[in-house]
Amino acid sequence: MPHFLDTNILLYSISCDPTESFKRDRAIDLLTDDTGALSIQVLQEFYVQATRASRRDVISHEHAAGLIEAWSRFRVQEMTFAVLQTALRICQTYRFSFWDSAIIAAALSLGCDKLYTEDLSHGQLVDGLAIVNPFF
């Protein structure tokens, strides 16, 4: 089964901060597994954050676009009406933010069994999707 990668995994993979070297290495390991999955939302969030001028290790538009192109080898879920409806249900049921709910909905739509993120509760199950903090 595919596993879903949240935006923070992509951002850690480009970190130049020496205090984040463990997270960077772990993120790179996750990105080398071709069974990964992403969503358009995750790729958009990556681009915005990675190219933000105030970011300590900002990257250029060309670099960010090149990484997004490389990550297109993964299954990528677009925002559809069905994903939106699932996100709204998850938002209501679990009281997550809409954006976290949309990521979970995209992962579920792709049939993922795990969502790798540090933004939600490690070990929680959401409609059968396991939330995993890969940095524990």
| pLDDT tens readout for residues 78-91 | 999 999 999 999 99
Q: Give the domain range for residue 22.
A: 3-132
Total of domains in the chain:
1
What CATH number does the domain containing 24 carry?
A: 3.40.50.1010
For the chain, the average pLDDT equals 97
CB of 5 closer than 8 Å to CB of 76: no
The pLDDT tens digits of the residues spanning 17-50 come to 999 999 999 999 999 999 999 999 999 999 999 9
Against a cut of 0.75, is the pTM above it?
Answer: yes
The candidate with the shortest Cα–Cα distance to 134, out of 2, 5, 1, is 5
Give backbone dihedrals phi and psi of 75, rounded to 5 degrees, phi first: -70, 130
At 4, which helix (H) or strand (E)?
Answer: strand 3-5
Give the whole-angstrom CA distance, residue 18 versus residue 112: 32
pLDDT value for 98: 98
Helix pair angle (40-50, 61-70), 10° resolution: 150
pLDDT value for 19: 96
Sheet holding 129-132, edge to edge: 75-77, 36-39, 3-5, 114-116, 129-132, 125-126
